[in-house]
Structure 1
């Protein structure tokens, strides 16, 4: 066998091994997380309840409170990390992330506007919030795209980051102004949401988020080759027959939709889209056929671990998941920023 084929096979085996390890870790944390909480359930009690046994209280705790939240945390982590991987591939910038670029903030602004005029406790928001968040995130992404584009040059990765940070700052300021007029109940909800608390903790929110994840993740992985070619540069990609603007827009729309739907249910959680792809890239390399699914699994693992820590560290109180992620993500972001300048 040719040495190049040997190297390619070794990288593929390593990538599958890393993805399998991520999956096993997610399953392990999933099982542990079912046992942990204000009311502890032993592994035998969890197993018995899952197979139809257990008391009514144990069934209520496991099926109505813990399982939906754990599933949501995995789905949100996968979606945000995959969105970050797409944005990093499109911009060829390792610091691109839906939170840093202001896409999460745009989705959040739409949610805050909706809550300003609509009761939080109604049944409608569960399925309306992802759509509204998508509108807010889409408009924000379009604004950032227009402001970042320079005729004759295209989109500069550095300019994209700077514009995204500026737009995000402006949107956060607008959200603070809007929260002043909220009723106390809605204000408390928005404050918790902005801190990154996974607030959609029942099965209707799982059903609201699942179609977005189930459709967009396979589509994005199908487009892995396009991202590989785009990373070679615009001239090379155009020479290979890639329709640059069309592919960019469809992939950008997919990244925005993933981030918006996850933010609508999971709150203002940042850094997952930054850390997940970087961890995957360091372990398996830049080839998007492996990078995209590995990023999703890494994000799912990060968020389920963060949510479990947030739920159990200061019982009976909770630490918002976004704060736990920020404790990990902020130093890592500063490290990447210092490294990129070097």
Structure 2
């Protein structure tokens, strides 16, 4: 289902792993060059600055052409004409996207990014115009969820995966919002349950090699699921949303206080126990949310003093952990994690050996053993 050439995607993963391996000095430059030659990547992927420039240029050209067409339709135009033109350009941008990906082999070039976003934006705009901008919130986010999911499956775009996840959660939120007080009361638990389910699914798919081209999307999905799971049970979020949107008093406040403090602690514990960086980093990040929530309702120290004390404690803790992990302990180290891609199952070592040593090594013509002075008991002072 993915639009990009899968052989080039696999070779791209291999090249990234070989670059990392060579950077760690586990293989030589010659071995690296042999693997890169044996695993060519046909994609056009410029540097980030050119990618940004191509994105802006493509967006400007696309919007300008659409604007000129709108100007031509201004006299005697109707809402139906503008709607049809908007949907037509959405379809046109998608066709151009497929062409640039499948024929021109663009991959994260800026052109494909811009065409993808314009196609989705024009599709959504078409629905807005067709309904006179009176589209229900739940339907809006359902469209965002569907479009983001389709683009994610087709182009494995990480940002589109995040958009699809946000659309899904917002769709569930506004659906429960319109279903009445019972659904509103159960909303935090519904969001927590769905977030937990999505995290378990993404963690399961991350272990399956057939989804290797979606690993980036699955990783962002797992991180967002962890964050949403916590936010749905955070005391501040539940209370403020309940009072502002639902006009309902806080219920089971003690339970949400437990969630507020216990969930980041559980993330950190499980991250250390399972050596899961995503859990550990999200847990450390959400620890700040715990401090903010507690301080918002129970201010103990002045803000300046609290920030100073907290910063000093964090610096001291960071120094201690860095010093403690100078030598690796129990699988943890202070060194940077240089593994960017999970492609162990691609058997990089075997490929390096196979592509480096094409033929059985043979001694040069006229080579004769002998000449050492060790007499078989070890090397002497000369050979």
TM-score category of the 2 structures, normalised to the smaller one: under 0.3
Please, what TM-score do these two structures have when normalized by structure 1? 0.26
Q: Which has the larger radius of gyration?
A: 2
More helix by proportion, 1 or 2?
A: 1
Q: Which has the higher contact order (CA 8 A, sep 6+)?
A: 1
